[in-house]
Amino acid sequence: MIDPDSFAVRPAVAADAATLVAQTEALAAFHGKPGAATVTAADVLRDGFGPHPLIWFWLAEERATGRAVGYIQLCQGYAAWLGRPTLVVNNLFVDESVRGAGLGRRLMAAAAGFARGRGIERMELHVVDWNPARQFYEAMGFQVMKDYRCRIERAALDRLAAGTQA
């Protein structure tokens, strides 16, 4: 039986950069793509802990050892119709050994508190359809939408920017 009190959830600091990278690598492995996360500690420091952060993190860790067991990464979005910023949950991960102990909920609650503190009224995220985390998000109060996600990556983005057809 896992004792939830033996874990803390706290905002990450710059000294956590390597740990945050390791959490992202663990999430990539969960998605069946070990080694696919190329983010570095320098990236995390630049975008998370510079003068104008683009991303925010909270860490879950074992109090006794300081071992990281989960994290959440957030970034800002924007609701054009509302004319208000939104908060996007980019990544959420809890180590398999401690799932079911409420850490995912605590990380999401930290994110929600951060959102409300900034006057943000909507949080959003994407979850793939095979992932049981869909039920987790529903338990958090999220409504799973049926719309489609679209993405454009580097080569096609360059072509689009150059005004040529893909």
Ligand X SMILES: CC(C)(COP(=O)(O)OP(=O)(O)OC[C@H]1O[C@@H](n2cnc3c(N)ncnc32)[C@H](O)[C@@H]1OP(=O)(O)O)[C@@H](O)C(=O)NCCC(=O)NCCS
| Interface residues toward ligand X, by CB under 6 A | 27, 30, 92-94, 99-105, 127, 131-133, 135-136, 139
Shortest Å distance, C-beta 82 to ligand X = 24
User: Which CB sits closer to ligand X, 44 or 72?
Assistant: 72
The CA–CA distances, whole Å, from 96 to 10, 21, 44, 69, 152 equal 19, 17, 24, 9, 32
Shortest Å distance, C-beta 50 to ligand X = 26
User: Which CB sits closer to ligand X, 101 or 120?
Assistant: 101
Shortest Å distance, C-beta 141 to ligand X = 11
Q: Are 104 and 70 in contact (CB under 8 A)?
A: yes
User: Which CB sits closer to ligand X, 30 or 114?
Assistant: 30
Shortest Å distance, C-beta 165 to ligand X = 33
DSSP state string for 14-57: GGGHHHHHHHHHHHHHHTT-TT-----HHHHHHHHSSSS-SEEE
Residue number of the CB atom closest to ligand X = 104
**Residue 56: burial class (beta carbons within 10 Å; 0-12, 13-18, 19+):** buried
Q: Tell me how far apart the alpha carbons of residues 85 and 140 are, in angstroms, rounded to a whole number.
A: 21
User: Which CB sits closer to ligand X, 49 or 71?
Assistant: 71
